[in-house]
Amino acid sequence: MRSDAATVEEYLSQLPADRREAIGAVRRTILGHLPQGYEEVMNWGMITYQVPLETYPETYNGQPLMFAALASQKNHMAVYLTGIYMSDDARREFEAAYKATGKRLDVGKSCVRFRKLEDLPLDLIGECIAAEDVGAFVARFERAAADRRGKKAE
């Protein structure tokens, strides 16, 4: 469910109370662990944590690099963790740590889905957010982009 909200506050105000509470708790976790240099905005119809274009303008689509995002979808809520899905090793480590919490892992290509706040290990989400500063994230993005270009050239 894509939102047309212009601000995070507007987005949150449009959510049902239970979802507002859950999304708010995950948002507080993200903001409490977010390294300096990322910005919180509404982009792509969700609360997005991104690398500002002033910091890194050479994106493939002219849009800021999304580091993480938070959304209320039709049948679930989701936290998008781009950094853990840019490498198979990072994804495997995250999934193993998630399963070790005893909570049910429900992932998509770049998202962790949850229906209730209790389904999400907030400490692990915070660790993932805190683990990569803007410079490291941009460098990893550039390596991944170069790898993709190299594969296409073959």
Q: Is residue 3 part of a domain?
A: no
With beta carbons less than 8 A apart as the criterion, state whether 39 and 52 touch. Answer: yes
pTM value is 0.91
Q: Quick check: is 1 in a domain?
A: no
User: Does residue 2 form part of some domain?
Assistant: no
**What's the CATH number where 127 sits?**
3.90.1150.200
User: Does residue 147 register a pLDDT over 80?
Assistant: no
Q: Is 145 domain-assigned? A: yes
Look at residue 70 in the predicted model and tell me its pLDDT. Answer: 97
Span 6-17, mean pLDDT? 95
> Could you give the CA distance from residue 120 to residue 77 in angstroms, rounded to a whole number?
10
Q: Is the dihedral of CA 87, 88, 92, 95 positive or negative?
A: positive
Q: Which residue has the higher pLDDT, 86 or 134?
A: 134
Domain that holds residue 85: 8-153
Report how far residue 115's alpha carbon sits from residue 100's, in angstroms, rounded to the nearest whole number.
19
pLDDT, one tens digit per residue, over 32-86 is 999 999 999 999 999 999 999 999 998 889 999 999 999 999 899 999 999 888 8
How far is Cα 50 from Cα 88, in angstroms, rounded to an integer?
22
Predicted confidence (pLDDT) per residue in 89-99, tens digit: 888 999 999 99
Looking at the 3D structure of the chain, how many domains does it have? 1
Question: What does the pLDDT look like over 90-130, one tens digit per residue?
Answer: 889 999 999 999 999 999 878 999 999 999 999 999 999 99
Q: Is residue 143 part of a domain?
A: yes
Asked if residue 126 belongs to a domain, the reply is: yes
Domain membership flag for residue 144: yes
